[in-house]
Amino acid sequence: MKGVNQKTLRTNLPPTLRHELVCGKYSLSLGGRTHVMGILNVTPDSFSDGGEYFNKSALALKRIYDMASAGADIIDIGGESTRPGAEGVSVEVELERVIPIIKEASRNIKIPISIDTSKAAVADEALGNGASIVNDITGLRGDSRMASVVARSGAGLIVMHMKGSPRTMQDDPAYKDLICEIISALKESIGIAVKNGISEDRIIVDPGIGFGKTAEHNLEILRRLAEFRALERPIMVGPSRKSFLGKILNADPKDRLMGTAAACAIAIMNGASIIRVHDIKEMVETARVADAVKGANTA
């Protein structure tokens, strides 16, 4: 590389952003070591673990405690499937599925619990019973009351990009400029949050891998994830066991462990602060190695 100025090469890379994320009684230092969010779906029809913890509260709680012991930094609990083609459920059904689990788990683990919902009524009950973060796949577009619920609670907020709804999102999704359109939509979600009194230090962005994207779109998001640093918010990525990995590997969801690890490592190298995953021990190890290569502070 004779004649190439190494300093000049480095200056074109986006800086590593550090954030102190405020979420209820918790505060997470993001931008150093990667944080791992563990997934628990108490649904009969989620794409990977649907039915495993549905109507099995003791098993669901054991899974939460096992994930926390394995190194999860956040537990994300959902009571409505968001897989492609999924049918919605009522507020009452969703509450019945998630509130007893959140209430009991929050008494026994010392890490934030996130409620994965797009319904303000569910978020409100969850936050009142021990949750500290709302993970809204609609980016505050699904329920006009969601932003005010989060604002008055002091909770953290994850705004995700989704094209369409879970029922329609994989019906031939198309973009003129994939990354610019996702960044623009996430910027609008941040604007909605701030307008309703949610401070930016409580917001995380998620580009929504698998939500209204083709396999090629998902790969481009991972390849160009650093561009999302323009939003100046922590980035969360959820590639765990997703169908684009199955397409590459010709593997069923539970046989996509190594593909998930590869996707997570790439996401971390390109700026993800949080990875949302099913397999905690393995992805904690993946994150630690990626962090070490990246030169992140792993304390």
Verify whether residue 276 is a known catalytic residue. yes
CA distances from 81 to 86, 99, 262 (A): 6, 16, 25
Residues 6+ apart with CB under 8 A from 9: none
- List the catalytic residue out of 224, 276, 288, 294: 276
Report the half-sphere exposure of 196 (CA within 13 A, side-chain side). Answer: 22
- List the catalytic residue out of 213, 242, 247, 254: 242
CA distances from 242 to 15, 32, 245, 261 (A): 29, 26, 6, 12
Distance CA 73, CA 36 (A): 5
Kind and range of the H or E run holding 245 = helix 243-249
C-alpha triplet 297, 208, 30: angle, nearest 5°: 20
Verify whether residue 25 is a known catalytic residue. no
User: Contact at 8 Å (CB) between 80 and 142?
Assistant: no
Catalytic residues: 242, 276
